[in-house]
Structure 1
């Protein structure tokens, strides 16, 4: 899923947010056994950094979406409360201000619709789920890699060792891709559902000219 994440700049502050993109593929050498094993280590570090980048992106996106969700929901509560209190205050003071209550209630409904359509509340919860799942995959890979390094490979063909370690790296990358594609598919489905509901509600609204014509005249 393409998005932005915060990075730490040279001065220790937040650098410009960047898209979630794959890091450059490392340069590999395979002339000697030592170079081949070193290339496997480079691939392992590259795969781990891919996972770390994805986790950081989701955590940063979660912070932004959570802030937006809280602001919208706070506004919704304030507007709804104000819209409820205004008619009561108008009745107590014998003032003709009841119509303003509908204005505030409509604004509160608009905030709720904004949150639903743009998926702020659901998006940051999905970000948490995705980040936790990716962190679990990364930790599982690191345990498996540690077990591989502690394994006695004396007398074992070099190619077998390399293939086994490459399978671990490929498995991690495949699971990362599956999580990203699954989360993106969920986001797309939610956005399309919200857009379709918005279009259906817009079609169901009466036209301005028809709204002011009595039913007997239509």
Structure 2
């Protein structure tokens, strides 16, 4: 009887030793999904902001650049119209002074575009938005592969830790793209301010 109990205990012990490690609870999978959603949401906020600002800068850049083209073009035509004795729809002859006025307006528009940096900001925002979108898509593809690898089984602690490292690297990628764009803006704005200071009439 004793031998039977002993053998039964050994059998139970060996069976437990051969069992795989218990997977983490189902709530952990929900927590991982929440972590993913938070990371993707962080990236999407940046993407939406850059897209909105890119659209705004595109409108201003096209408007200012278009105005510059129209002003300089008309200014170049006015002297020829004056020589041809063309009148302002019966209001008198066209005078060449208007050519100088239009050139001055074009210079103002160019200065505004250069100071506020609408054209360069448009390109920066577009590039940052595309980079963030590409990083977000890559993260989603990596998650699909990881989720398929886990299949119906819950992830082990080591596997979950490896994925959290991937999430952290995704946060780093997003912050790096935003930081690089901000550094470019600071450099461009500082350059414009320095140029304006050098051109200031009060500078000795």
TM-score by length of 2: 0.78
CA contact (8 A) 1:83 1:105 kept: yes
CA contact (8 A) 2:54 2:122 kept: yes
Say if 2:34 is the partner of 1:42: yes
Provide closer, same or farther for how the CA distance between residues 204 and 85 of structure 1 changes in structure 2, counting only shifts above 3 A: farther
CA apart distance, 1:88: 2.0
Deviations 1:96-126 (A, max 9, x none): 7222211111111111121111111111111
CA contact (8 A) 1:59 1:128 kept: yes
Among residues 62, 78, 90, which one is paired with 1:86 in the alignment?
78
Provide closer, same or farther for how the CA distance between residues 70 and 179 of structure 1 changes in structure 2, counting only shifts above 3 A: same
Which residue of structure 2 lines up, in the alignment, with residue 24 of structure 1? none
Give the CA RMSD over aligned residues: 2.4
Which residue of structure 1 lines up, in the alignment, with residue 25 of structure 2? 33
Higher relative contact order (CA 8 A, sep 6+): 2
Which residue of structure 2 lines up, in the alignment, with residue 51 of structure 1? 43
CA–CA separation in structure 2 for the residues paired with 1:165 and 1:117: 45
CA apart distance, 1:65: 0.5
Matches within 5 A, 1:66-215: 66-93=58-85, 97-152=95-150, 158-203=156-201
Deviations 1:157-200 (A, max 9, x none): 73212211211111111100000011011011101111111111
Among residues 57, 62, 76, which one is paired with 2:54 in the alignment?
62
TM-score by length of 1: 0.73
User: How many pairs align?
Assistant: 175
Structure 1, unpaired ranges of 5+ = 1-31, 207-218
Structure 2, unpaired ranges of 5+ = 1-23, 87-92
Provide closer, same or farther for how the CA distance between residues 204 and 101 of structure 1 changes in structure 2, counting only shifts above 3 A: farther
